[in-house]
Amino acid sequence: MTTALEILLKLAAWLLLAPLLPGIINKVKAWVAGRRGPPVLQLYYDLAKLWHKGVVLSTAVSPAHVIGPAMAWVAIAGAALLLPVGQTGASFAFRGDALLFVYLLAFARFCIALAALDTGSAFEGMGVAREVSYAVLAEAAIITALLTLCVQSGTVSLATMLAPSAGAGAALLAAGLFGVLLAENCRVPFDDPNTHLELTMVHEVMVLDHSGPPLAAILHGASLKLLLFAVLLTEAVLPLGKLSLLPAIGVLVGSAMVVAIAVGLVESLLARLAFRRVPLLLTTSFLLCLFALLVAWKGGTP
Amino acid sequence: MTPGWLLLLAGAGLAAGIFSAFKSPRLWLVTTLIGAGAAFAAAVLMLASGVTWDWRPGFVIGGEALHLQLDGLSAFFLVLLSVLGGAGTLYSSEYWSDKAHPDSAPAGRAWWNALLLNMGCVLLCANGLHFLIVWEIFTVCAYFLITRERQRPATRAAGWLYLASSHVAMIFLFAFFALLAARTGSWELGPMRGHPELAPLFWLALIGFGLKAGIFPMHIWLPSAHANAPSHVSAILSGMAIKMGIYGLVRFTGWLPVPPSAGWVVAALGVTSAVLGVAFALGQHDLKRLLAYHSVENIGIILIGLGFAMIAVSHGNAAWGQLALAGGLLHVWNHGLFKALLFLGAGSVLHATGTREMSRLGGLWRAMPWTASLFALGATAIAGLPPLNGFVSEWLVYLGLFDAVSGRGHAAIAAIVAAMALGVTGALALACFVKVCGVVFLGLPRHEIAPHVHECGWRMRLPMLVIGVACVVIGLAPILFWPALATAAAAWQPELANSIPPAPLVTLGAFHLALAALVILAAAFLWRRVRRNGLSRAGTWDCGYAAPTARMQYTAGSFAGIITGWFDWILRPQRHEQPPGGNFPARAGFEEHTPETVLEKIIEPAGSLVLRLSLAVRHLQHGRVQSYIFYLLLGLAALAILAVMGGAK
């Protein structure tokens, strides 16, 4: 009974806290630009509003257009249950859950991509093509990061992989994972969530034709994914498993803030890359993870 | 009933099917299904009991005593054969009916049964000579099935290519079995691990079986044969026939000793096939050709599992080898199932629209909801996504690789490379199947397709549904299938007997079950919410453009453009570009075609070189009798010199 309650509590925390991150990022961007900016809770208001709005469906779409976002949301929430929180561990932990985590996010991408292609618009096609292509490089980087953690800890379970720090290569791994975080969550310099030119979008253009509750599911899923990556990045680098519960949560919250501020600063200070440069930057992220792997390989004790 | 009687019933059913194929399609259907069902029962019985069925009736065929054997490994492959055989049989009764193909359907049914019967015999034969005989018959049966539509030149060319490469493989197999028989003194097959002198024969088997399996540089016959065969034949070719190559490799790496480098070579071939197979698939515009290249990819994943299992065995049976082997073997089943599902789905698209060209299709979900949903299910499975079966087997392989890495043994570096390749392959396959599903089934029709586009009938739908359910069941309850995997693994290496199922398999199954339930619940919940909030319809927004047409949709080629650009160095796409020019551009065009690079850039030039050299030799034959007499004199002189110099004894 307690475990069921614990799982529910953790899930509720993930789901409720997730929309905070985009709010913080936007606030940081506004501060840097000297504006007041939208309230930190803006995404909550948006989600509440969208949940009650009616839906306009394209005449071209199949039921996949509505079902896809729901399935993607479940997959991302499932991935959240696999991620451990400090010493309390994950709600579900077993050997090999690290791979399930990666593939659940891939499943979410698959569902959103099909829901987007459903509209038959060239813009959506363009966005999906970019999304699934860049994901190839991002996936290589994530698998490499997991291999680094596996070499470091000697296990394949997220709970034990993420408990110690990533060792000497932690900085490399953090940089690599931060690149993947930016790419997977449609942030500058890979993609600009605020652009007004559909031709240059990746994620935003995929949801152009979504509205109402399905759009709310997509937006909430996206914010949850950002939080997942922020927590994964933190736990990969810092030895949270060594702290007791409250300090661990404190460190997690603090570092999620740091990640959000870093994302906000990157967005304020950098311009979006030209599309032909995006693969180069992602390859750099992959190489950073690869060097972290080499450091772990050479530095660790067999 | 014992496996023996069931197998006899299966053989009798299939043989009766051959004879009734011409006279009574209905009787053919019933007898063939009974045969497939009996074979399935026999295989399941064997896997459940774990008792090898061994039969030496004392008949002598071709000078060798008949010896049939159903052990864990053959039963494992026989399950797949009987499921796909049964499904294809029912499917073809509607897809390739007498009404639509009066000339080719009856003979097609007979060849179909002969193919199933002989593939079953290959699995059962424990005598090298008989193995070769039934292997050759099965190869030839497949040729006649591929060339059912031989009025089309493309089909004839595909059939010829298949026949030629199969017989190159056959030469290697002749050499393999003949040398094996010569060195052991008998055609009997069985475990011979104590003869290290047999190890080099592995390379002959690798080429012979590898050509059949479609391992990367040897896959040249595969795309055109799969694309041009009738779809139920493509399904059995891709689902089962190429697995016969895998069966051969697994069988003889288990029975014979292998050279120390064998596992590394198999794993390297696996990595190459996996990544390049899916890269070539992304470049295709033909639905069935694309699926064929995915067979190369999945054979690669199977070989990664098998290769690392071989490495583990050669280094003291590390536990991770067992996981890799289990993943590879389970992927044999999984790939057989979802690839058959996808080919059958492609078949009903072809049946309904008459084209395999993806750029002409689109929006088919309206007319064909069953085919579209089942195809999407197969696509999710083949992209290796949870909660379906493709993920389970890839996960087992991954687990083996990660364990090899964390053990920091000699294979760790290779396992790191293989794990990265597997990750890239998964993401590429996801991209490819988003493209296929999106372009073929979603959006709007790109061309005016014939108005009679329709959903297929129940005899085509039911086999797809059955295979789809199998994909879901393996995904949701993988632990149920572990005993079969363990029995097969024990037949491969007796040291692997009594293996304990990895505990996380149960947890993974539970997680998949919960995920599947929640996914359905969430979809229903969101759909109801949308309904309640009010639903209105409008055209696709298209960023304000007022007159979008269906032809403006992203095509298969433009979708894959980014990735195929990365693989330009091997895909070598041929582009024909006519850019808009002048002040008032009138016509412009762009065409891109990805050829079969290995065939067109390596095999065909090599072939024409051999032909040119042979033509040079033909100058010796010119019809002048005087010169021929001169040749004779030269020959006699040479013989005389040999006799004198060589000291004839």
The mean pLDDT of B461-471, rounded to a whole number, is 96
B347-356 residue pLDDT tens: 999 999 988 9
Mean pLDDT taken over chain B: 92
The alpha carbon of A210 is separated from its chain's Cα centroid by a whole number of angstroms, namely: 20
Q: What is the pLDDT of residue B581?
A: 84
- pLDDT at position B451 is 67
CA-nearest residue to A56 within chain B is B536
Distance from CA of A144 to the nearest CA of B (A): 7
- Which of A62, A106, A138 comes nearest B365 by C-beta? A62
Report how far residue B189's alpha carbon sits from residue B175's, in angstroms, rounded to the nearest whole number. 15
Binned at pLDDT 50, 70 and 90, residue B530 comes out as: very high
Q: Does the pLDDT value for residue B606 go beyond 60?
A: yes
Confidence of residue B57 (pLDDT cuts 50, 70, 90): confident
Q: What is the mean pLDDT of residues B128-145?
A: 95
Tell me which residue of B337, B364, B342 sits closest to B83, measured CA to CA: B337
Greatest mean pLDDT among A118-122, B144-148, B591-595 lies in B144-148
* Predicted local distance difference test score (pLDDT) of residue A302: 44
What is d(CA B551, CA B565) in angstroms, rounded to the nearest whole number?
23
Q: Nearest to residue B493, comparing CAs of B326, B332, B261, B334?
A: B326
Give the C-alpha distances (Å, rounded to integers) separating B127 from B132, B243, B249.
9, 20, 16
Chain B partners within 8 Å of A154 (Cβ): 406
Q: What is the pLDDT of residue A271?
A: 87
Q: Is the pLDDT of residue B648 over 60?
A: no
Measured between CA atoms, the residue of chain B closest to residue A275 is B562
Domain boundaries in chain A? Answer: 21-34+57-299
Q: Are B552 and A126 in contact (CB under 8 A)?
A: no
pTM score, whole prediction: 0.94
- The residues with which B125 forms a beta bridge, in sequence order, are B68
- Residue B80 to residue B85: CA distance in whole angstroms: 8
Interface with chain A: mutation pick from B541, B545, B551, B552, highest number of A CBs within 10 Å: B541
Q: Is the pLDDT of residue B646 over 80?
A: no
Q: Are A209 and B541 in contact (CB under 8 A)?
A: yes
B422: which 2 tokens? 């597997």
Q: Which two tokens stand for residue A250?
A: 């404190």
**Which ranges of B548-596 would DSSP assign to H, the alpha helix?**
556-566, 568-571
Give tens-digit pLDDT for B240-291.
Answer: 999 999 999 999 999 999 999 999 999 999 999 999 999 999 999 999 999 9
Query: Quick one: pLDDT at residue A153?
Result: 87
Ramachandran class of B137: left when φ > 0, alpha when ψ lies in -120 to 50, beta otherwise? alpha
The residue behind tokens 């949870």 is B386
Letter string b/e over residues B479-514, b meaning 16 or more CB atoms within 10 A of that residue's CB: bebbebbbbbbbbbbeebeebeebebbebbbebbeb
Which of A133, A137, A277, A294 is best to mutate for the B interface (most B CBs within 10 A)? A133
Give the helix, strand, coil percentages of chain A, each rounded to 5: 75, 0, 25
Note whether B540 contacts A302, CB cutoff 8 Å.
Answer: no
Residues of B in contact with A184 (CB under 8 A): none
Beta bridge partners of B54: B69
User: What 8-state DSSP symbol labels residue A273?
Assistant: P
The CA distance from B118 to B138, in Å, is 5
Concatenated DSSP letters for B105-151?
Answer: HHHHHHHHHHHHHHHHHHHHB-BHHHHHHHHHHHHHHHHHHHGGGTT
Contacts of B277 (CB under 8 A, 6+ apart): B216, B219, B293, B294, B295, B296, B297, B298, B299, B300
> What's the average model confidence in pLDDT over B306-331?
89
Residue B649 has pLDDT above 60, yes or no: no
B167 secondary structure, DSSP code: H
The structure tokens 């003869």 sit at B195
The answer to ipTM > 0.90 is: yes
Q: How many other C-beta atoms lie within 10 A of the C-beta of residue B574? A: 11
The residue-averaged pLDDT of B440-461 equals 85
Bigger pLDDT: B248 or B318? B248
Q: Would you place residue B593 in the very low, low, confident or very high pLDDT band (cuts 50, 70, 90)?
A: confident
Mark the ranges of chain A whose per-residue pLDDT is less than 50.
302
Say how far apart CA B192 and CA B253 lie, in whole Å. Answer: 10
Query: Which whole number is the average pLDDT over B563-576?
Result: 89
Which has more confidence, B497 or B368?
Answer: B368
Give B182's pLDDT tier (boundaries 50, 70, 90): very high
The answer to whether the CB of B434 falls within 8 A of the CB of A108 is no
Q: Which residues pair with B202 in a beta bridge?
A: none
